[in-house]
């Protein structure tokens, strides 16, 4: 069984030498267990947080131990009556070829409903993050103006389209011309900002949203949050989903320097963790499959082939290599 270990804790941006591909032996399954062969695994920015040795909402990864993360595989051997050979399952033991389970924390997936890997993206954790952030945190109202950062990524691309389906004005920011094109042509957002090609993000946002913004869906933090605070309207809201611009920082960042604006503008800033909303999963799946059927949601995948390239796929998240969901296909 091949698996990827954390070899060293990254200092700043992760590098390939922080990861190590190793081969291990898996003991045979016993009564009540089943064996899964992974087909897809997810790489996600939150994994960077788990590579740090500090207190967080999830346990840190251990050096010399296998990494973990969302994955989809096929049951290839079973001594568990609920999980049969040939079943497709969603689990959290990515970064390896095979894993054993007694079924705890593992969900069966319906391979007829959508391509398997969609259950890691649009119908999985990232799609649900977009939905929870808009529906449960922002309590999105039709007609409002929303600014979305990392707008062409796994979460952001779905946020933009759910907001459009709710008749909102959407402004998206991204860092590559092809991402900007996708946001305009496919996601049909109303205005776009290539933040890497602008000298002053706040000015660019002001031009894109002359009447201000009502919701800022923050995937980036730092300069994006600071720009948003300049243009958020009175009684507006910031959905604090992620702050990827800070994840590799070796020193805490000083921004946003204009945080005091939340007082005068009576801004509500709220963080959330999608995991706390699993009771909403049926509502999410019902609404998302309806939006997909009505042609309101399109999704992209950036696929990296081979477990041996999983670390590169992960590192690529910080270089903006992905359009839509970044996935690794395990042969």
Question: Under the rule (CB under 6 A), what is the footprint of ligand NDP?
Answer: 44-46, 126, 129, 150, 152-156, 174-176, 179, 219-220, 241-245, 272-274, 317-318, 320, 322, 326
Half-sphere exposure (CA, 13 Å, Cβ side) for 63?
Answer: 8
Nearer to ligand NDP, 110 or 276 (CB): 276
Q: Smallest distance, Å, CB 142 to ligand NDP? A: 24
The answer to whether 41 touches 70, Cβ cutoff 8 Å, is yes
Shortest distance in whole angstroms from residue 151 CB to ligand NDP:
7
- Residue placing its CB nearer to ligand NDP in the complex, 154 or 328: 154
Closest CB to ligand NDP among residues 91, 324? 324
Q: Which is nearer to ligand NDP, 99 or 314 (CB)?
A: 314
Closest contact distance (angstroms) between CB of 282 and ligand NDP is: 18
Q: How far is the CB of 167 from ligand NDP (least distance, A)?
A: 23
The structure tokens 């952001």 sit at 156
Other CB atoms within a 10 A radius of the CB of residue 328 amount to 29
Shortest distance in whole angstroms from residue 192 CB to ligand NDP: 11
Residue 130 or residue 291: which is nearer to ligand NDP going by CB?
Answer: 130
Q: What is the 3-state secondary structure (H, E, C) of the chain?
A: CEEEEECCCCCCCCCHHHEEEEECCCCCCCCCCEEEEEEEEECCCHHHHHCCCCCCCCCCCCECCECCECEEEEEEEECCCCCCCCCEEEECECCECEEEECCCCCEECCCCCCCHHHHHCCCCHHHHHHHHHHHHHCCCCCCCEEEECCCCEHHHHHHHHHHHHCCCEEEEEECCHHHHHHHHHCCCCCEEEEHHHCCCHHHHHHHHCCCCEEEEEECCCHHHHHHHHHHEEEEEEEEECCCHHHCCCCCCCCCCCCCCHHHHCCCEEEECCHHHHHHHHHHHHHHHHHHHHCCCCCCCEEEEECHHHHHHHHHHHHHCCCCEEEEEECC
- Shortest distance, position 190 Cβ to ligand NDP, whole Å: 18
- Residue closer to ligand NDP by CB (options 94, 175) is 175
What's the min distance (Å) between Cβ of 76 and ligand NDP? 29
Query: With respect to ligand NDP, which residue has the nearer C-beta, 42 or 78?
Result: 42
Residue with smaller CB distance to ligand NDP, 35 or 134: 134
**Minimum CB distance to ligand NDP, residue 319 (Å):** 7
């Amino acid at each position: 069984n091949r698996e990827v270990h954390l070899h060293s804790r990254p200092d700043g941006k992760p590098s390939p030498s922080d990861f190590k591909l190793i081969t291990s032996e898996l003991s045979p399954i016993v009564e009540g267990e089943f064996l899964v062969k992974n087909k897809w695994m997810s790489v996600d920015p939150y994994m960077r947080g788990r590579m740090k040795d500090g207190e967080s909402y999830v346990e840190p990864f251990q050096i010399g131990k296998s990494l973990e993360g969302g994955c989809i595989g096929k049951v290839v051997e079973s001594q568990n009556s609920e999980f049969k050979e040939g079943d497709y399952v969603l689990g959290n033991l990515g970064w390896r070829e095979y894993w054993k389970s007694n079924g705890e924390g593992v969900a069966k997936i319906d391979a007829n409903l959508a391509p398997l890997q969609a259950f890691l993206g649009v119908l999985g954790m990232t799609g649900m993050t977009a939905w929870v952030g808009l529906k449960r945190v922002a309590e999105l109202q039709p007609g409002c103006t929303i600014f979305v950062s990392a707008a062409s990524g796994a979460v952001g691309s779905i946020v933009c389209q759910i907001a459009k389906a709710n008749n909102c004005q959407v402004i998206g920011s991204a860092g590559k011309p092809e991402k900007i094109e996708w946001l305009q042509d496919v996601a049909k957002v109303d205005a776009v900002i290539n933040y890497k090609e602008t000298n002053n993000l706040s000015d660019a946002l002001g031009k894109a949203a002359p009447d201000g913004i009502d919701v800022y869906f923050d995937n980036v933090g730092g300069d994006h949050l600071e720009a948003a605070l300049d243009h958020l309207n009175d009684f507006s809201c910031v959905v604090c989903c992620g702050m990827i611009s800070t994840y590799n920082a070796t020193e805490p960042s000083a921004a946003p320097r204009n945080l005091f604006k939340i007082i005068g503008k009576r801004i509500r800033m709220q963080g959330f963790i999608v995991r706390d909303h699993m009771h909403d999963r049926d509502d999410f799946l019902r609404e998302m499959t309806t939006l997909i059927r009505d042609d309101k949601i399109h999704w992209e995948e950036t696929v990296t082939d081979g477990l041996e390239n999983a670390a590169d796929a992960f590192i690529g998240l910080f270089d903006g290599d992905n359009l839509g969901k970044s996935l690794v296909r395990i042969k």
